[in-house]
Amino acid sequence: MEHKTLGAALEAEHRDIDGGIEAYLAQPADGVGTTGTLQRSLAGLRRNIYLEEEFLFPPLKTAGLMGPIFVMEREHGTLWNIMDRLDELITEQDAAAARDTCIRLLGLLEKHNAIEEKVIYRQADELLNSSEGTALSGFMESGSMPTGWVARSAGK
């Protein structure tokens, strides 16, 4: 991993995801446009949620960060549900609703990422032991999310 810390690598993922959604929104609004960038960003966000909930959050919960993790997981569920709706809008080719939903998603991500980066990622750099950090780094470099996995709080 080219970043100095796990937190920095995770923050870079956030920037890439947000950038893809912003690139979709920068396209002309007169049609669905090219959704490939948006779909890649949604896949990246789902993968990011997976790695956080499966690799990052469990050891941080053990270390005592139950409250902040609970909030992040609840927000992940909301984000996941919005992404499911975006998938439907892309299939329906409803460009106007997809754009509105992307704007809503970016607004939620802005708030969510700010807390996650300032609280969770900083604690991760301090609290994860070497095997936990290695597992997370390894997944970030080459892991894929299992088919059918869904955020813990999605659908609630």
Tell me what pLDDT residue 2 has: 58
Please check whether residue 155 lies inside any domain of the structure. no
Q: Is residue 1 in some structural domain?
A: no
* 127 contacts 75 by C-beta, under 8 angstroms: no
**How far apart are the C-alpha atoms of 56 and 117, rounded to whole Å?**
13
Q: Which two tokens stand for residue 129?
A: 């032991």
With beta carbons less than 8 A apart as the criterion, state whether 155 and 81 touch. yes
Structural domain including 86 reads: 6-142
- 37 falls within a domain: yes
Does residue 150 lie in a domain region?
no
Q: Which of 24-33, 46-55, 146-155 has the lowest mean pLDDT?
A: 24-33
Contacts 24+ apart (CB under 8 A), 77-82: 77/151, 77/152, 77/153, 77/154, 77/155, 77/156, 78/108, 78/153, 79/45, 79/49, 79/105, 79/108, 79/109, 79/112, 79/151, 80/46, 80/49, 80/150, 80/151, 80/153, 80/154, 81/154, 81/155, 82/108
If one counts the domains in the chain, the total is 1
pLDDT value at 54 more than 90:
yes
Tell whether the model's pLDDT for residue 131 goes beyond 80.
Answer: yes
The better pLDDT of the pair 102, 129 is held by 102
Dist. CA 117–CA 6, nearest whole Å: 11
Query: Would the pTM of this model clear 0.95, i.e. be above it?
Result: no
CATH classification of the domain holding 29? 1.20.120.520
The reply to whether 153 falls in a domain is: no
**Above 90 in pLDDT, residue 4?**
no
Q: Is residue 152 part of a domain?
A: no
Indicate whether 154 belongs to any domain: no
